[in-house]
Amino acid sequence: MSNRPDRELTPAELEAFGQELDALRQRSLADLGEADARYIRRVRGVVRLCCWSGRTLLMLGWFPPTWLLGTFLLGLGKILENMELGRNVMHGQYDWMNDPEFAGRQYEWGIVGPADFWRHTHNHVHHTDTNVLGMDDDVGYGVVRLFPDLPARRYAELAGAPDRRTLRPALQLRHLVGAIFDHTAAHLDLPFARCRDGVTRVKGSGRRRPHGRRPPTPPCVRFRTRRFRPCG
């Protein structure tokens, strides 16, 4: 972790930095082509093959080797769908193809968390205010203490501290989160950290203010809860 003091960039530095980013974007767009389209289509094909093969083999799961192979293939398909297919497509990386199957705003993946949740929490909140404390919940989600400005909690220290005394618990907690990643990712759009801390954002600003013991649920969460509530 760097201890260098923060400083504000001068207008000239900001302008130069912006020009570098614009130039990088133009180089990246100019490099797009049929090879990229073939790649993402191959990834989609591998995902479908792994998932269907895994599910088929699991129908014969009473035979241990078949169960192991089916579990491996289905897990591989889900990992590829999450990290290589769905994540990149919903970032809008393949919108230039004008293919409805790879449209970032319409794509729906096959994991527990709906794509709309991820698009709001990751694409909008995280990428708009990246690593800004109080704005970006992706800074540890209250479980991992990544910055000295975050409050020190014992479980957070165990999850994120790099020293030898807490390295083993940190690895254990990260492995646990990894094992249930599909379900933890489904809750990223819910304001658990703000409910825990008893604060909410002031509408129209990045400031936070305290409120009562039961924080009001944001309208988007209330709407989505009704939308995705199971029938019956």
pLDDT tens digits, the chain, 232 residues: what are they? 456 667 788 999 999 999 999 999 999 888 899 999 999 999 999 999 999 999 999 999 888 999 999 999 999 998 899 889 999 999 999 999 999 999 999 998 887 878 888 888 888 888 888 878 777 777 766 666 666 666 665 544 444 444 444 444 555 556 666 667 777 667 766 665 555 555 544 444 444 444 444 444 444 443 343 333 333 3
CB 81 within 8 A of CB 110: yes
Q: Are residues 41 and 96 in the same domain?
A: yes
pLDDT at position 199 is 52
By CB atoms closer than 10 A (0-12, 13-18, 19+), residue 226 is exposed
For 83, the domain range is 11-102
Domain boundary among 76, 102, 128: 102
Question: What does the alpha-carbon distance between residue 39 and residue 201 come to, in Å, rounded to a whole number?
Answer: 41
Q: Is residue 110 part of a domain?
A: no
Looking at residue 59, what is its pLDDT? 93
* Helix locations, the chain, DSSP H: 11-31, 34-58, 64-80, 87-90, 115-118, 127-128, 154-160, 164-179, 181-184, 192-197, 219-227
The CA-based diameter of the chain, rounded to the nearest angstrom, is: 67
Sign of CA dihedral 210, 201, 157, 8: negative
| 222 shares a domain with 124 | yes
In a domain, 180, yes or no: yes
What's residue 73's pLDDT? 96
Is 190 in the same domain as 123? yes
Q: Which of 50, 70, 102 is the last residue of a domain?
A: 102
| Number of domains, the chain | 2
pLDDT value at residue 138: 73
Q: What is the pLDDT of residue 166?
A: 47
Residue 66, pLDDT score: 94
pLDDT value for 114:
84
Same domain as 146, residue 97: no
**Residue 39 confidence (pLDDT):** 96
Q: Are residues 133 and 213 in the same domain?
A: yes
Is residue 17, in this structure, part of any structural domain at all?
Answer: yes
Tell whether pTM > 0.75: no
80 occurs within a structural domain: yes
